[in-house]
């Protein structure tokens, strides 16, 4: 089963407008759908689910809608906390949630605290979240270490940035879903989704359901995640390891390439480039 699914839950407002109802009506239905999808993820054995519930840009909406969204979150947490606990869910938040009113911050922290020892689904709500913002925090953190002489700039690597990011955020989603037909990431997990499979559906979030999630998972399973490699390389790696992400993959590729001189598959591949006796490129390459 999938390790990590991330979802941009979009289309609540349009769904409500289509029914001549106020936008908040769509958010209420959207929260119900979120509840169902969370339960389905538990049943499917997904390890991590990250939901984009409030972006840093959402503050720019009409004040009444912003207030409503925040209240909805507060009520949702108060009502759902024990259900989350019963389902062994560990609740976590990414984003600058301290900027919400203190009653909401309390609900969030209570939910995090009460579910912190659970070992089932890791459920992450992205709240007042921005992908660029969290990267800026990592840059500041690493800059401090450089200024204090604890870190050399040349030791800032992709792996280091990823691990710093993971301390305050989430890992890489395998599958990133966006509903409502919009084809953007909108500042969601921009570093972590570099190699995620993206799945866009025209279905509006309030209409999203179990069948739609299964469709997305099926589409994911049909795709071959190549991380820029060849199918043969992937086949060799998957024999050794079940879960791939772009960082662990780099280490595996390095060792694979070290061993490649003794590998039959790679010898065969190399032969393709030896034309006719010498090196393919030294013969002028492709003409
Ligand atoms: C996008 O719809 C959705 C949001 C801005 C917030 C997501 C919130 C929910 C799904 C409800 C709250 C969830 C929980 C779990 C408390 P939109 O308003 O941008 O829709 P539109 O693009 O059609 O206007």
- Is a pLDDT exceeding 50 seen at residue 273? no
pLDDT tens readout for residues 16-36: 999 999 999 999 999 999 999
pLDDT given for residue 225 in this prediction: 74
Longest distance between any two alpha carbons in the chain, whole Å: 74
Q: Which atom of ligand 1 is nearest to the CA of 16?
A: 23
CA atoms of 184 and 180, how far apart (whole Å)? 11
Mean pLDDT for 66-74 is: 98
Provide the pLDDT confidence category of residue 228 given band limits of 50, 70 and 90: confident
Residues 40-56 as b or e (16 or more Cβ within 10 Å = b): bbbebebbbbbbbbbbb
Closest protein CA for atom 10 of ligand 1: 30
- Angle (CA) 147-151-155 rounded to 5° is 130
Question: What is the set of domains in the chain, with CATH numbers?
Answer: 4-221 (3.40.1180.10), 231-282 (no CATH)
Mean pLDDT for 98-111 is: 98
Closest protein CA for atom 3 of ligand 1: 10
Q: Which atom of ligand 1 is nearest to the CA of 27?
A: 11
Q: How far is the CA of 229 from the centre of ligand 1 (A)?
A: 37
Q: How far is the CA of 38 from the centre of ligand 1 (A)?
A: 16
Q: Which atom of ligand 1 is nearest to the CA of 28?
A: 11
Q: Which residues are catalytic?
A: 10, 58
Provide the pLDDT confidence category of residue 224 given band limits of 50, 70 and 90: confident
Q: How far is the CA of 8 from the centre of ligand 1 (A)?
A: 9
Given a contact cutoff of 8 angstroms between Cβ atoms, the answer to whether 108 and 79 are in contact is no
The set of residues, in sequence order, having a beta carbon less than 8 Å from that of 51 and lying 6+ positions away, is 6, 7, 9, 34, 37, 38, 123, 124, 125, 126
pLDDT given for residue 286 in this prediction: 41
Mean pLDDT for 158-186 is: 97
Q: What is the pTM of this model?
A: 0.84
Mean pLDDT for 4-15 is: 98
Closest protein CA for atom 7 of ligand 1: 53
Provide the pLDDT confidence category of residue 191 given band limits of 50, 70 and 90: very high
Mean pLDDT for 93-119 is: 98
- Is a pLDDT exceeding 80 seen at residue 246? no
CA atoms of 135 and 165, how far apart (whole Å)? 7
Query: What is the best residue among 57, 92, 205 to mutate for testing ligand 1's pocket, by most ligand atoms within 8 Å of CB?
Result: 205
CA atoms of 89 and 16, how far apart (whole Å)? 30
- Angle (CA) 39-44-47 rounded to 5° is 85
pLDDT given for residue 60 in this prediction: 97
CA 50 vs CA 23, 25, 122, 144, 146: distances in Å? 23, 23, 8, 29, 32
């Amino acid at each position: 089963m999938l390790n990590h699914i991330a979802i941009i839950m979009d289309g609540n407002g349009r769904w409500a407008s289509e029914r001549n109802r106020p936008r908040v009506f769509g958010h209420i239905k959207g929260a119900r759908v979120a509840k169902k999808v969370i339960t389905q993820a538990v049943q499917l054995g997904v390890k991590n689910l990250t939901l984009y519930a409030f972006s840093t840009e959402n503050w720019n909406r009409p004040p009444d809608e912003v207030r409503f969204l925040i209240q909805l979150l507060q009520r949702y947490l108060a009502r759902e906390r024990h259900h989350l606990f019963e389902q062994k869910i560990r609740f976590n938040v990414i984003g600058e949630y301290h900027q919400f009113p203190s009653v909401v911050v309390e609900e969030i922290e209570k939910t995090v605290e009460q579910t912190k020892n659970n070992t089932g689904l890791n459920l992450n709500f992205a709240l007042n979240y921005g992908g660029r913002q969290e990267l800026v925090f990592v840059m500041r953190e690493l800059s401090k270490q450089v200024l204090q002489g604890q870190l050399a700039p040349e030791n800032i690597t992709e792996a280091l940035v990823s691990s710093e990011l993971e301390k305050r955020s989430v890992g890489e989603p395998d599958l990133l879903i966006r509903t409502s037909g919009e084809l953007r990431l909108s500042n969601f997990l921009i570093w972590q989704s570099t190699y995620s499979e993206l799945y866009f559906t025209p279905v509006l979030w309030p209409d999203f359901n179990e069948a739609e999630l299964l469709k997305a998972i099926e589409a994911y399973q049909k795709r071959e995640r190549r991380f820029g490699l060849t199918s043969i390389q992937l086949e060799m790696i998957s024999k050794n390891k079940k879960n791939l992400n772009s960082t662990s993959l780099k280490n595996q590729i390095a060792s694979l390439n070290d061993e490649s001189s003794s590998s039959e598959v790679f010898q065969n591949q190399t032969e393709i480039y030896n034309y006719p006796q010498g090196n393919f490129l030294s013969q002028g390459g492709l003409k």
